């Protein structure tokens, strides 16, 4: 993956977070009243999480660490190499699992669960983003 592609992924996350913030301001009833809110939340969460995982995978490859075999393993490798702590890793693995659920079990997404993730766990995306930025800054090229 080229550095320009990584930069595009890095740029996507703050943009998505801004748009998700708008959805967070809605009550649950407002949120589910328009299918576009649900669709937008799913898409923005999925693409944000995927971008984070892609960036994590890029970092792992750049540092010559063990090649991950799954999205969760990206987080585990970063944890095992002390780039993220164990508490954070649990949240980030759940994030990767949610992304998998959106991609593969999209017809079984509970809007109440989605809304709770949107309201309560969006901070995990922000935190993972900051962690990855810090790793990139500490290990240029």
**Distance, CA of 90 to CA of 98 (rounded, Å):** 12
Give the residue carrying structure tokens 């959805």.
23
Total number of domains constituting the chain:
1
pLDDT for 1: 53
Residues 6+ apart with CB under 8 A from 134: none
pLDDT for 5: 83
pLDDT for 109: 81
In terms of phi and psi (left: phi > 0; alpha: psi -120 to 50; beta: otherwise), the region of 75 is alpha
Phi, psi of 34 (to 5 degrees): -130, 120
pLDDT for 98: 85
Q: Domain of 58: which CATH number?
A: 1.20.120.580
What confidence tens digit (pLDDT) does each residue in 6-55 have?
Answer: 889 999 999 999 999 999 999 999 999 999 999 999 999 999 999 999 99
pLDDT for 107: 72
Question: What is the span of the domain harbouring residue 54?
Answer: 3-138
What confidence tens digit (pLDDT) does each residue in 97-134 have?
Answer: 888 777 766 677 889 999 999 999 899 999 999 999 99
- With a threshold of 0.85, does the pTM exceed it? yes
Residues 6+ apart with CB under 8 A from 132: 52, 55, 56, 59
**Distance, CA of 122 to CA of 11 (rounded, Å):** 17
């Amino acid at each position: 993956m080229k550095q320009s592609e990584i930069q595009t992924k890095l740029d996507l996350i703050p943009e998505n977070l801004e748009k998700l913030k708008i959805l967070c301001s809605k009550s649950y009833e407002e949120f589910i009243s328009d299918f576009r809110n649900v669709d937008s939340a799913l898409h923005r969460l999925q693409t944000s999480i995927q971008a984070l995982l892609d960036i994590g995978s890029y970092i792992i490859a750049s540092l010559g660490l063990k090649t991950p075999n799954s999205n969760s393993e990206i987080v585990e490798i970063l944890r095992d190499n002390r780039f993220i702590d164990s508490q954070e890793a649990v949240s980030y693995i759940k994030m990767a699992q949610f992304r998998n659920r959106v991609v593969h079990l999209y017809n079984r997404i509970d809007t109440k669960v989605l809304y709770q993730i949107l309201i309560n766990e969006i901070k995990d995306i922000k935190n993972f983003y900051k962690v990855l930025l810090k790793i990139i800054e500490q290990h240029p090229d």
